[in-house]
Structure 1
Amino acid sequence: MKKFKVSLLQLDVKFGDPEANYSNVEKYIEEAVQDKPDVLVLPEMWNTGYDLERLETIADKDGQRTKTLLTRLAKHFAVNIVGGSVATKEDGKFYNTSYIFDRKGQLISQYQKVHLFGLMSEDDFISAGSTLNQFIIDGIKAAGVICYDIRFPEWERKLMSTGQQILFVSAQWPTKRIEQWKMLLCARAIENQSFVVAVNRVGNAPKDSFNGHSLVIDPLGKILEEGATDVEGIFTCEFDLDDLKAVRGNIPVFDDRRTDLYF
């Protein structure tokens, strides 16, 4: 048996207030490590929220503040951190950026969101990335995406097609579409025969509300853990990665693909 424990930090994000958000993230990480998880997972755009019109003054330049904080905490507590995502400014452009750290505090992957969400005007302010987010934590192959990315199954298939066992998702997914969040994530788990670990924020922004429902889903689409509605907090779940062997052995979808016809 290969047990793996994840802690989902389902947080409120204060609109346009990096000081409050960095302080809150540090507090919750210090609390979450008491459960001795293998990995901590944060939500999307947790440093600024979607206060996009003020990114010039509140975005994290080159991600330095975020990297400094999460490097220190990952190393101090010897825990892997899937750092959700933050608003960054790099070379005069703004990005929705995810950073992944191992137990030694080393940055092992970074990713700029590739699918920008027009309904929240993301594409008016933020530039799209163009790279894969694949990484190895504790010897486990994994991948990560951000929010709107989950509506593009071809993107997840590409990410998961080289043996990835866990898909991490960080989001600010509005309350009014939360049922779609659940269905899409269960579908991504089933079709990729992988565990899905997905963290959504709670709280309110000027134009949207968010009600959590952070999820851990097994390769058959069963929900193993669901964060309580509207509650800021830590939700921890342990699962057995060996379960993947039976699922993938019985229905080898990756082997059965017709790559002569499609990817």
Structure 2
Amino acid sequence: MKVACVQLDIAFGNPKENFITVEKKIRDAASLGADIIVLPEMWNTGYDLTRLAEIADVEGEDTKRLLTKLSKELSIHIVGGSVSTKKGDNFFNTMYVVNSLGEIIAEYDKAHLFKLMDEHHYLEAGNGKNLFSLDGIEMGGIICYDLRFPEWIRSHVLDGAKIIFVPAQWPDKRIDHWKILLQARAIENQCYVVAVNRVGKDPNNSFNGNSMVIAPWGEILWTGENEETVKVVELTLSEIEEVRKRIPIFQDRRETLYK
């Protein structure tokens, strides 16, 4: 399975420009032979949270229209990172997953809101898991700050996820945490982790990419640098079961001790 990580800069508060950029990057990734394309967090608006009433995607309609059109045209799966959405009277940080038939197969609102970037003042938290299947493989998707909650990711893996996708806008001042936590999540869950972070700046933070693809044994298969890029990485799915047989942590769990 070939996964394309789309590491890009985001125009602050400018959905029109960002939609043009994302469409181009998706087409670039498809031309490289990817099976799945992964986008970063909040790519439609960035963290221009004070203007969400003006710029958030109402019911996600613009995002869903773009992703379903491109996935069907290009015969490619898209893990749509996340976008700011307005649903009813509330705003959310929402991930859409679209299969190669142009069908929306998952919708997830970020469960853990990050107070250091004021999400809790403007956004509502989601309350559901994000599990889906592409090409017969069970997968899960979380968003940025969710990474700091290992029990949340473990719950997805216990329900069958073999690949965890992590779109983010993770500031460079805490980039070491990003790297270590991603590798730890892959090792402790014996799964692939595909994480896509943005680059560039907004009025409050600087972002330096370092998107990563990590194998179930913990090997870092690729790390992005501090620039826009589209990188295709091949995942060897049989490695998941091989690693789990070598160290059978899921058989050795003592769940009654963890409650």
For normalisation by structure 1, the TM-score amounts to 0.97
Partner of 1:250: 246
Residue 134 of structure 2 corresponds to residue 137 of structure 1: yes
Partner of 2:154: 157
* Distance (Å, rounded) in 1 between the aligned partners of 2:168 and 2:128: 19
Matches for 1:1-263 after TM superposition, within 5 Å:
4-228=1-225, 230-262=226-258
SS at match of 1:89: strand
SS at match of 1:159: helix
SS at match of 1:179: helix
SS at match of 1:249: helix
Identity %: 53
CA deviations on 1:85-111 (whole Å, 9 max, x unpaired) are: 000000100000000000101000010
In the TM superposition, structure 1's runs of 4+ consecutive aligned residues that sit over 2 Å from their partners are none
* Distance (Å, rounded) in 2 between the aligned partners of 1:8 and 1:97: 18
State the one-letter code of the partner of 1:189: A
User: 1:204 Cα deviation (Å)?
Assistant: 0.3
Aligned length: 259
For normalisation by structure 2, the TM-score amounts to 0.99
RMSD: 0.7
User: 1:262 Cα deviation (Å)?
Assistant: 2.1
* Distance (Å, rounded) in 2 between the aligned partners of 1:152 and 1:69: 31
CA deviations on 1:196-220 (whole Å, 9 max, x unpaired) are: 0000000000010000011000011
State the one-letter code of the partner of 2:172: T
SS at match of 1:261: helix
User: 1:83 Cα deviation (Å)?
Assistant: 0.1
